[in-house]
Amino acid sequence: MSIFLIKTILSIVLLLITFVAMFTMFEALGRSEKRFNITKLIKIHRFNGRIFFLLYLIIAYFCIDFMVKTKTELSPRITFHAVFALTIIVLLFLKVSFVRIYKQFYGQVKTIGLLIALITFGMVGTSGGYYLIITHFGTEKTSYKVAELKEEISQKGIIVQTDTESIKKGKELYENKCSFCHNPYGTDTIVGPGHKDVLKNQTLPSSKKPATPDNIATQLKSPYKDMPSFSYLSEDDVQNIIAFLNTL
Ligand code: HEC
């Protein structure tokens, strides 16, 4: 199962927990005539809050680990997601401190609770929600812009550079950005397939598209399936990486 799908499932659980938190809060503090036993509601609310925190930490670990290992640039979407996530954790600490320590602020707790719930929707929407939509609920590859980009690339056509300067730059870029998931000198799979002979073979290892420089450029901009996008790379960087792949 892809790491994105796992994270998406975890974040859907996080949403469910958020609903439970809201429901227990409204039932405990919102009704004038209570339907349920308040101490029980509060117990559930607290337990639920702990699970929320735990799940939050697990998902955050996956996200940060992925970011560090792939050195992914922060897109506007990821930036929003991160701001939402950081806000939630600050609010959560404030809320707990108002309940336990700074009790004079207890009046604010309901508002903070609601804010946490709303921002959680924003946080999950900008990650799991987005992923589910572009993959048609996990069933399709994430190359939502393929058609557009193919056109753009086919108009230009990539010419493979063979000078040592390009190859050297390409090798450096490859070591920084790709070698975490790909073995350049073998065909074994680390996270993605090995790249030995990648441009000498007839077809690319995963998608089985023709092994052309253009298709590799497309793979970087709008990857087939689970590879992260490198659409932030400049044309020069892409050319250099392809120059290096051409030597393998
Ligand atoms: C986080 C891991 C990861 C990183 C980093 C990564 N890739 Fe990939 N790559 C994959 C996976 C996974 C696949 C296989 C696609 C699939 O089946 O989901 C893949 C597939 C490929 C393919 C074959 C595509 C096809 O059509 O068969 C090429 C070429 C490729 N990667 C090049 C690169 C280059 C160049 C870089 C560095 C700029 C890079 N990758 C960085 C994970 C990664």
221 CA → ligand 1 middle, Å:
11
The pair of three-digit structure tokens given for residue 73, joined into one six-digit string = 């640039």
> Rounded distance, CA 46 to CA 36, Å?
16
Contact 142, 225 (CB under 8 A): yes
Give the tens place of pLDDT for each residue, 183-197. Answer: 999 989 888 899 999
Ligand 1 atom nearest residue 141's Cα: 18
Show the low-confidence residues of the chain (pLDDT under 50): 142-155
Give the tens place of pLDDT for each residue, 189-225. Answer: 888 899 999 988 888 888 888 888 888 988 998 888 7
pLDDT for 140 equals 61
Ligand 1 atom nearest residue 216's Cα: 29
Nearest CA to ligand 1 atom 3: 181
pLDDT for 143 equals 45
The pair of three-digit structure tokens given for residue 242, joined into one six-digit string = 């392809």
Contact 185, 248 (CB under 8 A): yes
pLDDT for 32 equals 85
pLDDT for 83 equals 94
pLDDT for 141 equals 55
Q: Pick from 122, 166, 94: which is nearest to 158 by CA? A: 166
